[in-house]
Amino acid sequence: MKEIFIAGEWRMGRGEPSKSFFPADMSLNAEFSTASLEDVAEAIEVADRAWRDSSWRDLLPTERAKVLFRFADILERDREALAQLQMRDNGKPLYETRGLVASAIATTRYVASTLETMDNELTNQRMHDAITLSLYEPLGVIAAITPWNSPIASEVQKLVPALAGGNAVILKPAEATSLIALELAKRLEEAGLPKGILSVLPGRGSVVGNAIVNHPLVKKISFTGGTNTGRALAHIAAERLITTSLELGGKSPTIVLDDANIELAVNGVIYGIFSSVGQACIAGSRLFVHRSLYNVFLAKLIEKTAALRVGHPEDPATQVGPVISEQHLANIDRYVQQAVAEGGKIEIGGKRLLAGELAKGSYYAPTIITGLSNRDSVCQEEIFGPVLVVLPFEDEASLIAEANDSIYGLSAGIWTENYRRAWQLARRLEAGTIWINTYKKFSISTPFGGYKESGIGREKGRLGILSYMQQKSIFLSLDDTPNPWCD
């Protein structure tokens, strides 16, 4: 049984043991211990003491950057082993997990480079007798709670900016995918992170996660996951008056205008929903196609979807792998059957795949559904699977109303050859990220987050570091004359 990283020590957690399974065939990856409530309390108390020590918080940003650059080099050294482990932990095809590791490396190097040029500010001087400055200081102990769909990218995206800001971090990985988080801890330890600054505490969210976010020494909650959990965490943060970053669910619209390049748009739409088996908060799961293109576009969409290669994640030819678990597969299928009950027509897919080796794992066919309205439940609720609903539209006014008719606002895609139309439409869509003639492209330098119930706050970019810090103003008086008010 694997040890976990508690308060800077590798040891057995006192919680119930847990297991990681390979979704491709349900074979056992590893059994590991989990944290108990006592482990949580100890980790946070040690983290607070370690943070208050000058060994990390008071380092110059350039000194913290050295540790992060070393961490990036270690990730680079071990990139293939990490990609293989990520593949086994959540079943993503190897080509995708290699991309996730590359993203984690790039994120770390960007943040470390940003630290090299991180400035405090001499503010606009409005007084003759004082100098005014604006500084940013660390918050303290950060609770970082991550999802199972892209663990290494999500965890580095929280860990590295929080550490860069001089904080301590308690990382709570998803129950189903805790192995990568433990490997990251080993490599941060090797890079020279001071003892106690990081703990990795696997376990049930309702137990371990709840204990972490309610601890009085935790000063910020950074969470990526479902909207219902995010709402509960926001209530806790509001009660405790601490800050949050919440990256939550999505039901993202993809829009094909009447002048779109059809080949470009078909490929982009398919990638936007069926890569990662649709298990992405930004998946383009609602497709709006102008009626003049609808029949031609739908035919090409079905043809190319039928040609997707579903298979074992280790096979380099595989484009679509298994979903995370049997339970999640059953939930996806329940939504598909619900769509049929609401009047939807399954154009392709709509079933579990059981041919040959696929029978050993949790594989679901890429699915396209037509015949629904935007108000039907499968167009309003996040499925988090390979299910695309296609809807025709005729005018942009009704399109915008329907695209925005959602509790979510994480992302959207627009396909058109007219960039004036694209710009105007992008400004009217209620979403945090808009892709034009592309989809699911990311840059660590560009902020990411959602509107409405898709979240609060932004990650990435230079401000991603500052989101883990608090601002302080300092007035430095130049006047040695006693204040006359007292005379």
Residue 413 lies in a domain: yes
Residue 448 lies in a domain: no
Which amino acid type is present at position 45? E
Q: Are residues 120 and 231 in the same domain?
A: yes
Domain of 102: which CATH number?
3.40.605.10
pLDDT at 322: 97
Q: Exactly one of 96, 247, 402, 453 is catalytic; which is it?
A: 247
Residue 480 lies in a domain: no
- Residue 286: Cβ within 10 Å count: 27
Q: Are residues 263 and 200 in the same domain?
A: no
Q: Are residues 194 and 286 in the same domain?
A: no
Helix (H, G, I), strand (E, B) or coil at 280: coil
Domain of 384: which CATH number?
3.40.309.10
Per residue in 211-249, pLDDT (tens digit) is 999 999 999 999 999 999 999 999 999 999 999 999 999
- Walk along the chain (487 residues) and give the pLDDT tens digit of each residue: 899 999 999 999 999 999 999 999 999 999 999 999 999 999 999 999 999 987 899 999 999 999 999 999 999 999 999 999 999 999 999 999 999 999 999 999 999 999 988 888 888 888 888 999 999 999 999 999 999 999 999 999 999 999 999 999 999 999 999 999 999 999 999 999 999 999 999 999 999 999 999 999 999 999 999 999 999 999 999 999 999 999 999 999 999 999 999 999 999 999 999 999 999 999 999 999 999 999 999 999 999 999 999 999 999 999 999 999 999 999 999 999 999 999 999 999 999 999 999 999 999 999 999 999 999 999 999 999 999 999 999 999 999 999 999 999 999 999 999 999 999 999 999 999 999 999 999 999 999 999 999 999 999 998 899 999 999 999 999 998 998 898 8
Q: Are residues 276 and 210 in the same domain?
A: no
CA–CA separation, 282 and 351 (whole Å): 23
Place of tokens 């005014």: 132
pLDDT at 137: 95
pLDDT at 161: 97
- CA 363 to chain centroid: 23
User: Of 322, 243, 436, whose CA–CA distance to 25 is shortest?
Assistant: 322
Active-site annotation holds for 38: no
pLDDT at 246: 96
Q: Where are the beta strands (DSSP E) in 38-179?
A: 121-122, 130-138, 141-145, 168-172
Segments forming the whole domain that contains residue 361 = 253-436
pLDDT at 128: 84
Query: Which helix (DSSP H) or strand (DSSP E) does residue 374 occupy?
Result: none
Residue 177 lies in a domain: yes
Per residue in 345-368, pLDDT (tens digit) is 999 999 999 999 999 999 999 999
Give the number of domains in the chain.
2
pLDDT at 31: 95
